Structure 1
Amino acid sequence: MGFGIDRRARSRKARGGIRALLGKAPDAREVGDRLVRLARRMFRGEVVDATARRVTLALHPAAPPVRIVVLPEGDLEIQADTAQVGPGYHAEVLERVGAMLAELEFVWDSDEGDSRAQFTAWLTAELAAGTKQLGMPAHRSFRIEAAVLTPLGPRDAAWRDAVIADPTRGADAFAWWEREPGHRERSRALLAMWHEVPWREPLDDAERELMERVDADLRAARRANRDLALPWADWAELLANLAVDDEAHFEDVRARAAGTMATIGYRRHLMDIELAGGWSIELGGGFVGHWEDDDARWWATDGDRVVEFTSLSAPDETDSERLLAVAPEHHPVIERLAYRHQRGRAEAYDDDGVHVVHGLMANAPNVAILTCKGSAADEDWALGVWRSLRCG
């Protein structure tokens, strides 16, 4: 956990002694049963699962779930990672969970103090220690030259040094800093735009639903606070990719974006993708990949181009050049590569209107087979993806 909530709560009622005569504390089973009923009533669709031993809540789409565990003695343990969203979300979780604790007749076992001050202290300490990523999700890795990667984009060394000197200047790197109207909805949209939106037309229903949810959150943020700063240019690009039917809405957003550039989105950058057999490649953030054939074949697409990958190993072979030569050439070779222990060959041909670049890369005893499909104009892109193959 980077920064978050890790606290316990206990019943107001005593477990023993003279005070227990006034009302004994409930046991773990009773606490769990009441917790489930209250969670379902107070959090409704935000309940991920609820049993007598644990309740899991999804209170923000960009944050890991909040977990409330019933301990054997009947106390509760509450844990939540709030670093990716910010101190406004941290305070929101404490308030909403605290309201449920009050109905349970539970109290926090200690005073957390000023959570904003604790958040800024954590931020300063992390930056001073040389941390390169703050509150970043682990499921994607991007190739970006920056001193720090934050939830709201890369920051340079000058930003880092300024925040170490004055932690409040770090507010621009977190989506929910203040608990004011519209900030919750804007934080949902901003974090989705930075980490999930592919910045192209949606390929499937899931991507379309994501992008429509971002639009809905931005609309809600604007309704809640007309003075709230919103990412107009990026919003206009998202609406264009969605091809929305509401022309008046699109024109309004586009007019407000006039003269500004769309810059939000880690998925505008190259991703580092770990593949099988120790191989990895660099691929544009707009690609979506899938494993098939019991994880023997991986493929990815951005809607216009396709990348396919498989790998194999020849355990007794120690020479990459010899290993590469085992596979005969079937099409014109457009490039050969020799880099450290790696040896590669790329061939190109056309198949029913599709330009195919078929690349092999050997790093004994491992071999990668990478096929890129697109148009003839995509050949340089395909060679770049093939060259990025690395093993180990």
Structure 2
Amino acid sequence: MPTILRINSMETIDAVQLRSQLGDFLAERTGDIVRSWVNQVKKDPRLTTADRLSEHLLEDHIPLLLEDFIIVLRSGEEEIEMGARWNAVKHGAERWGQGYSYKELVWEIYRLRRVLFENVMEFACGRPNELAVFSLACSSADSFLNELECRSVEKYAEESEATVRLSNEARLRLIRTVSHELRNLLNSVGLASALLSSDDPESIELMRGNLDRNCGHMKQVLDDLLDLSLIFSRQNVAKPAWFDPGLLLKLLEAAHRPVAEANGLIFTSSIKGELGSIYTDELRVRQIAENLVSNAIKYTPTGEVHLRFEGVSTNDWAIVVEDTGLGISEGDRQHIFSEYYQVSPASPLRGSGLGLFIVSGLVDLLKGSISLESEPNRGSVFRVVLPRIHGSVEVLA
């Protein structure tokens, strides 16, 4: 775009100055632009996925993208900066994860284009050479939005292709895992059938134990598969609400203390620091804690398991699970949260290898982080840090 735009033989427009003025105009209206866009998206019947998102999740990177656009306008440069490209890419990835269809992504950006053009029209209205000013401002907005659309859609397509590829690989692994456990169960059932007419109490009792163990293994695999289906679902969106973490801790202790004591372990729980009420998805929090506690009990032959909720800061809190179990080597710690990874595949305490992968996925869903400290034969400490408030909330319900 030329620095000076000639209207006729007598009149010209300073394009750089005009773009800077447009940037100032939009900066004052950024909040209104975002709110207007959110309202239009919510009302658009073609954007049904948006109806399931909170306003905070719906806004996503839009405020940052508008800020990037304003920076470009004020700088006098025509080239879109790397920050804007990166935010556009993240927007496409986020929308894929939230379950948007390709068409919804395009229509959403179209709505942003409409809102921006309405503001550009207002910017140009009443200025000298109004039509030329409007044309120049629209050209700037159009270039930016085209870049946003291309980057977002490109990333969306990449995420879609990668998910399909991983999904195919996951299906094969799932088939192998379930087939293995099902075969063990069927073998036990077959042997039990052969012993039905046996008068040997010791053999019958041995087979009953094998049946119980294999049924337990199969149930765990099926439970993990159900949890995994939620992780892989693109419509897996957190449903935050206020809840009392102290009450949740009591429920978890009541559920897991008998299991731990049946295995000869001591189970304790506690709260450290100030927690108050938490605004997040309580069901997902419970799934995280239950997976970690179940793992700790399973891999702790003797000693104790401790579950603790901690107030980390004014913004964060933590779920901490400590045990005196087998521990995890440094090499294994690098892969422990990978899908289907098992520290000791030959162990009789085998599982599906999905538990910690599921925990990691749930932690990501709740915008948290997970860390591990462990030493072989001395135990492990899993620490999950989560925000006290997931997304945006105005009042305590």
TM tier, smaller: 0.3 to 0.5
Higher strand share: 1
Instruction: Kindly name which structure, 1 or 2, has the bigger radius of gyration based on alpha carbons.
Output: 2
Q: Which one scores higher on RCO, CA 8 angstroms, separation ≥ 6?
A: 2
Higher helix share: 2
Provide the TM-score with structure 2 as the length reference.
Answer: 0.32
